Structures are given as structure tokens and as C-alpha cells.
Chains A and B, each alone.
Chain A
């Protein structure tokens, strides 16, 4: 054997010094890492779920006219920002943030009737009902059992629809720390008492999922999902957003974050290795690596800035949706022209139409018939006291 060493023939992306070049976008995706990397076209049916970072991904894909499944859309009469407050259009169904693999697994189990948690609703002081598994999607809660159950049934149907029709699921692993019911292990996205319910240590316990548990849960989820959708592919990401808080009193939140993200990162790696249809996308690395110099985090050092999301999605588009890369580069223009879901577009059109109408209705009143003699001379909306401001806009524009 002559010359060289095991690193001699390796490509540039294997060398730290070669991937960090000023002015170059850091792109940690290695195209050849997986031969069957999914290629998303605008017709690929994509489902999204996961932690809050996953919302950015879903939003970006929608703005680039990807077919992101929305099985529980808001009615077009509801403005998108209001709809989002009620969990519409945030992910592919109205399940809110799903932080752990166990939560994802249990969602599908509940939606298919395989799991019925004992504590399936929280009753607020005002008698309104909160869904423990998506406590923020109905601000204020549901008014009564019938409404609650009808909405939940609709939601479960939507979950089934999403997972049966999706070609690709993009899932963002967010946390390892969670709270679960001692009685049956039902995992809540938020601890009881945070957004509903009452914390009772006798009924609820803390859990910090391990790599093995995460891998096992996600694998179980995949197995269940592929019963009805064998071709389902997965793109896994790990949320770069640090823990807002750790429940481990003996641990600093920095350490807890490091641990949690490490677990999730290892789990994602193992899942991608184990399953040919699962791919890891390194959004976590783009945001948190030294190359970003921390600039992708906001002032609170936790929120991911828009520039970071843009970087992530440029890399994502380049490798998973090359057709959309050009659109991503001109993101601003694309957002304006195509950046709304169908329901958003419908709502936008409706609002614009009505606002135009409102503007002119007001004037029409002045031009239209009124009462009394004053009408004859066209003084319908004049008055006899004082001319304060003359009415003067009978034109629609």
C-alpha cells in the first residue's frame, strides 16, 4: 500500500476546514448518503408534524406551493392568523405540537382506537373542556362534552386521513422530557396545569425518554402507519430550539438541552440507518453548528430567526425539492404570489373583495335613495348644521 491514509480520498464535506468557507452557505446534506433520498415535487403529498420548529418547515413548504396535506383546514371565512391560533393550518391536522415520538405513536393509536387514555379531557374552572393531548388548539376550551367529542372524532378522522394519504411525513423530534399519566402512560404535550388541567403528582409523572425508547416508539409508529400506507416515507429532523425549561431540578437547562438534543439526534440517526424509507435532514446542524456563529438565534438565544429558517429550507429544497429551489431563492416574491394555502387564498380573496365593497357601500348610501324632500335635491347625507367634511368618494377602485 503506497501513500495516503484513510482520509486521503474522502470528499470535501468530510473535512471541517473545507466546509467552512466564507460566503458559502453551509450545506451539511450529503447527496449520496442515501440512495433513495425522497424527491419532493409540488404534487408530492406531504404531511408535517412535530415540535414548533416543524411549523416553520410546514409554512415554508406551503408558501412554495408544495402539497402539504391539510386535513383540518379552517373555514375560509376565518383569517389565517386566527385559524392558526386555533391550530388550523399549522400542521397537517389539528394536533398541535408533537414533541416526542411516544406522543406521535399514541396519537395514531388513539386515532385508530388502539389506545383510549383514561384521562381524556380536563375540565376547567368555568366548566369548559380542554383536550389534554392538544391543549392549545381551542383557546378557552370546548363548551360541552358533545362539542368536544365531535371535534375529537373529526380530528381522529383527519389524523387517519393524513397518515393514509401522505407520501412523505416530515417529522421534527423536539423533546425527550415529557409528562405522562401514571395510570396508562398517556403522554401529554404540556404538563397538566400549564395550559389546562391540574397537576397531581399522584396521577402524573415525569419521563425523560432515552434513545432506545425514542427509536422504539418511532419504529412502532411507522409500523402502525404503514399498515395502511406501506409506501410512507419519512424525513426526520431534530428541532434546534433549546428547551424552554427542564423538569430535572438537578440539571442545568443547558445540560438538559444538550442531553435531550443528543438523544434525539442519535435516535434520528439510528432510525435513518435502520429504515430505508427514513432520511435524516440536518436542520439541527444548520442552525446550531459553529458555522452559524449563533446568528440564527434571536435575542432570547432560543427562537430561530427567519434567516436561519431560510437557510434550512434552502438546503432542504436543494436536496429534497430541487424543483422548488429557484422559488426558494426568490422567497419574498414567491410568498406574495403563491404563499397561501387554498383556504388562505380563498379567505384573502374574500376579505379583499368585501373590504372593497365596504369602502364603496359607504358611498353608495350617499348616492342611493333616502327619504324626504332632501332626497330630491340629492342631499341625502348632508345635514343642516355644519359642513364638517364633504362626502366625496363614489368610486370603486
Chain B
């Protein structure tokens, strides 16, 4: 039986609970179980964990969803529960979560005013006529999209809700363009917020982080804590702040019918802490509706502004004068919005005092989500000739798909470990970078737009060294789960006895298969990266496979259906295919500019004569390695970074 673990929070929690409960009978009738998790009742983590475990025990799908979106999980799933993909449902729920706050507020207000729109009736009417409700638009049209096979849904804490998720969902899944979202909502990075808001939001964010992650409960303690944090903690704090600021940059415009919004203040109060209403002339009323522009509280925060606020707070607590004058804040925001890397090293942002001395962020691809930048060179991508940033700090650019996450984690966890380097990474499977490939003359080729974007990323990162790890899971097309009858193959010279009853494949045909796989994926991208830059490029193999079948089954990820259907290939076969894949890459790159860097020996463990990923380097995932693995690789990579003279600055 599927389980929904809903986590209603904020002032709207009672209404959320009411609506979730209203949806519960419908969900239950369809075989769902609604597990309400209310932070006011304590032990949220335990309850979510219990819900997840309940789902696992019953081999069912689990939906654990974050603050504010729980209501919509219930609503949408109530609508869709007769079938289909929970995943779409959860994403839709997330996507339309912000307006749910408004709707919930509306429900609460009407109930409180005695006009008696019971939550269950409100839910019913909303689902019946979603187009009548701002930003719940076309919820019913979601039904037609829910055709994908039922898949397992993972917990998505609200902190990981990123704007591109919404954009992606709206544009790609719902098939709607930004302009087509019912005419009452738009997401984008635009319209700088007033500086007062920046500061207020910065302080609020710092408060949240200190409270949640540093267990600092009240304002006094908050200031003291910030003042006393040492460098390492402060660095961690700043990383968290910066990451938080980076993930949420959006503006929401709503056109609310007056019938829903008799009192704007009531709505804005309801949104306090999450959305900030911009009052700079963007509030417009007409006879039947009100136009509101909301900024995500985190959206307008530049790292400079946050740093400034933090510094100001720390100085204040230490009896010093803060340096967060408006001019600095303004300069920081201007610097953070640069889309052109030129001159970034001299931006005013560098003057801001940041506790850990981290480099200021420079969005290298600053564009509205879902849009393509104009091609810089219609005839093809330019090959960058060298670093545009002449700094003394060696610049490392990591390009790849999911496996570069391990490097990101390593860098995020402990930057000082890697010395004085500047780390940048770009995920090539990001929505903005897709598609990576297209068909050209019936052959798979790199998409021209991808070439352009790649070139832009490299040009703006101005790396001294590129590390590339593209398509690291492609070998699992053959390795992870059985395809057809059991088979095995052996490496030439290997003294292995064929298993009776198991299909014996020649090494040659397996090599041809794996070569063809790499040639239409990783090798294409590696060649594109090499073509786009003149700087040194190192290719990395994917991490070796995980030996332990129990671990994979416990963390099957997207292989859950395949594993359930077909099981897992034996570890030895998975290891042989991985080794073959790495050998194919090595041979293909032997004469090419991207050189394949062998994995350090300490990432391996040998089991049954084959090499696997060492146990302490496993991620909670069937194929990926964790940040410790990334750290080991970064240690090895840093050795390849060319030293730079300080005078270069």
C-alpha cells in the first residue's frame, strides 16, 4: 500500500491537515495510506522514517514530501490515485505548491468568516474546476500526462526543491511554456528586490540555518553563535547559505481574483517567511483582480548580501561597526548577476569580507531557465584559447553527468583539503544542457546547442584544467541487471571456468558492444569537450561497481523496477563489464587529448578476484560513489593542476 508522508508546517498547518484529512478517504479508497506528520507533534524525522520504512516493508511506493506541498500531494494524488505515476504526482504537487498556500489561506479565511467553505468542499471544487483557481490551473490536464509506469518515489526534503525543478516541470512535463501558465504566474530571475528586503531576507535565512543546522534557538544565541564560530564552522555556514541562495531565485506573479483576495495583507501575511511581496509599484488592482509580484525570500539573496549581513551581525555582537552599507550590498548584487565573466575578478564583490574567503559566485550561464542563449558563433563553438581570468588561483572545471556529484560533495565538505584552487562544476545532464545529443544523418551526434553551451561554460569558467566524467553509468546498460538469459564472458588470459548453463559470450563481441556504447555516448562528449577548449583535459572513469547486492537492493534507485523484474547481474560480471568499459575508454583516448586518469588504488576493494568500489565509498545509491570517493579523486586531480604565478593577477 502506498504511503504518503505529508509534512505540513507553518501557520497554515491546521488547514493543511484539514485538507489532507479530507483527501484521506479518497486516497484510502484507492489503496493509499495517508501518514500525517506534523512537526507540532514532534519527532518529524522519526515519523517520516517510519512512513518510509512502512513503505519499504510493504514493498510499496512512498511519498514523503516537504513543507507546504503536502496539501497538494494529497490533492493531486486524490485526483490521480486511480492509477499511474506517483512520481508525476509528487512533482506536480511540488510544482504547484506555492499557490497552495494561497488556496489554503483562502479556505481558512472563508471558514473563519463563516462563509463556510469546508475544506473538503474546497478541495472538491478546486479539483472540479481548477482553472477557476489561480495557479492550480490545468491540474486536471495532468491526468493525461500520467501514463508512465508506476515508479518508486523518494523523499524530497523541501530544502532540495529547486526552481529549475518547477521550471522543468512546467515546461517539459506539463508541456506548457512560461507564458502559458494560465496567465497568472511566471518564474524567472529578474526584478531585483529592494535592499531592505535583501537584508531582511538575509537575516532570516541566517536565522533559519543557525536554528536548524546549528541548534541555535533564539536571536541572542544566534548572534553569539555566529560571533563565536571558528573558521571551519563559519565556512560551513557560508557554504550552506550560498547553496541555499543559489537554489532559489524566482519571482512569482499572481493575478488573484478579488473574490479570493479581498485582503491582500492577509495573503501576504500568510506567505510570510516564504514569499515576499514586492511593493515597488508592482501591486496593481483592477475591478476584478489584483496583480501581485512575489519574490521568493531566498531568490534575491546574493552571497555578498548574506555575507554582509552575517558580518554585520557578528560585528554587532562583538561591538564593532558593521560594514554592510547599502553600497556594498548593491555592488554585490550587481556582481552576482554578471553573466559575462569578463572583469569578474575586479568586481566589487571581491571587496566584501567573507568569513572563509571563498570566491564570489559568478553565474556563468545566467539565463532564464528553459531558454537557450543565442549562439555565439553560428558556424560552431569557439575553442577557448585559455583562461580569461588571470588569477593566481588554479581553476578547475569539472564537467560530467551524475558521477561528478561525488566531486561536488567532496569540495563542499572540505575545500581547504585541496589547497588554493578554484573549483567549478557543470552538470551536463542539467535541463539547460539537454539534449546532449541529436540525430544527424541517422547517426547520433552532439547537439549543436550543447556544443555552444559547453563552449560558453568553458569560456566563462576559464579553467586551467578540465576534468570530464560524462555518462558514467552507461556501462550499466549491460552491467546492472540481466538482459536476457544469464551470460558471462572472460578477459583474455583470465583463468576462469565457465559456469554451466550460462551463455558464454566472446570477449570480442562484448568489447564491440561496449565500444559501440561508449562511442555513441561518453566518447562523443569527451571529444566535444576537447574540441571546445585548448586547456588540458583529463577524463575520469566511472567508479567501479558496488559488490554488495544487499546494498544495491536496499538502494535500488531508478533500477528498482528493473531489479524487481530481472534481478541483478552477478558482481563478477558487473565488475568485468566495468573493467572492459574502462579499458575501452583508455584505448579510445590513448591517442586523444583527453587522457584517461586511472583511478587511485585506494578506491578499490578486491572481492572474488575482481575490483569493486571500496565499501566506505558507497553512496546510498546503486551505482554512485560518495563524497569521500570524490575527495580521493580530487586529491589526485589537484596534482595535475598547473601551478600559477601570483604575478599573473
Contact = CB atoms under 8 A, between A and B. Distances in A.
Real binding pair: yes
Contact of A370 (B87, B151, B405): B405
B294 interface: no
B628 to A, nearest CB: 7
Interface string A219-250: 00000000000000000000000000000000
B629 to A, nearest CB: 10
Interface residues of A, number: 69
B173 A395 contact: yes
B165 A379 contact: no
Interface in A373-391: 373-391
Interface in B211-258: 212-213, 236, 239-240, 242-244, 246-247
A368 B88 CA distance: 18
B168 A392 contact: yes
A382 B247 contact: yes
24 contacts: A75-B505, A77-B487, A78-B509, A81-B516, A354-B480, A354-B483, A356-B558, A364-B621, A365-B403, A368-B154, A370-B619, A374-B239, A379-B247, A380-B405, A382-B412, A383-B424, A385-B422, A390-B369, A391-B162, A392-B432, A393-B429, A395-B88, A395-B172, A395-B173
A357 B423 contact: no
Contacts of A85: 512
B322 to A, nearest CB: 24
A383 B412 contact: yes
Given A362-B402, A392-B431, A396-B148, A386 B164 contact: no
A291 interface: no
Interface string A59-80: 0000000000000001111110
A86 interface: yes
A138 B508 CA distance: 8
Contacts of A385: 359, 361, 411, 422-425
Interface stretch (A12-20, A112-120, A312-320, A345-353): A345-353
Contacts of A358: 471, 473-474, 476-477
Interface in B382-397: none
A392 B88 contact: no
B240 A391 contact: no
A367 B426 CA distance: 16
B409 A380 contact: yes
Given A384-B411, A392-B168, A78 B505 contact: yes
A343 to B, nearest CB: 7
Contacts of A389: 364-365, 426-428, 430, 432-433, 453, 457
B527 interface: no
Nearest to A144: B492
Interface string B169-188: 10011000000000000000
A369 B624 CA distance: 11
Interface string B497-539: 0000001111111101100100000000000000000000000
B417 interface: no
B558 A396 contact: yes
Interface of B is mostly: helix
B362 interface: yes
B401 interface: yes
Contact of A357 (B404, B484, B558): B558
A86 B425 CA distance: 41
Interface string B315-348: 0000000000000000000000000000000000
Given A346-B483, A361-B559, A371-B628, 20 more contacts: A79-B516, A138-B508, A139-B512, A346-B484, A361-B473, A362-B427, A362-B429, A365-B621, A371-B626, A372-B413, A374-B412, A378-B243, A381-B408, A382-B408, A387-B361, A387-B364, A390-B247, A391-B430, A393-B430, A394-B156
A387 B91 contact: no
Nearest to A343: B484
A377 B244 contact: yes
A389 B412 CA distance: 17
Centre residue among B163, B164, B402, B510 by max chain A CB count within 10 A = B402
A79 B483 CA distance: 11
Given A377-B240, A379-B240, A388-B426, A143 B626 contact: no
Interface string A33-77: 000000000000000000000000000000000000000001111
A360 interface: yes
A381 B364 contact: no
B358, B474, B512, most chain A CB atoms within 10 A: B512
Nearest to A83: B509
B562 interface: yes
Contacts of B508: 86, 138-140
Given A366-B405, A379-B247, A388-B461, A361 B623 contact: yes
Contact of B409 (A151, A347, A381, A393): A381
A395 B91 contact: yes
Nearest to A364: B557
Nearest to B432: A389
Nearest to B397: A388
Nearest to A371: B627
A368 B236 CA distance: 20
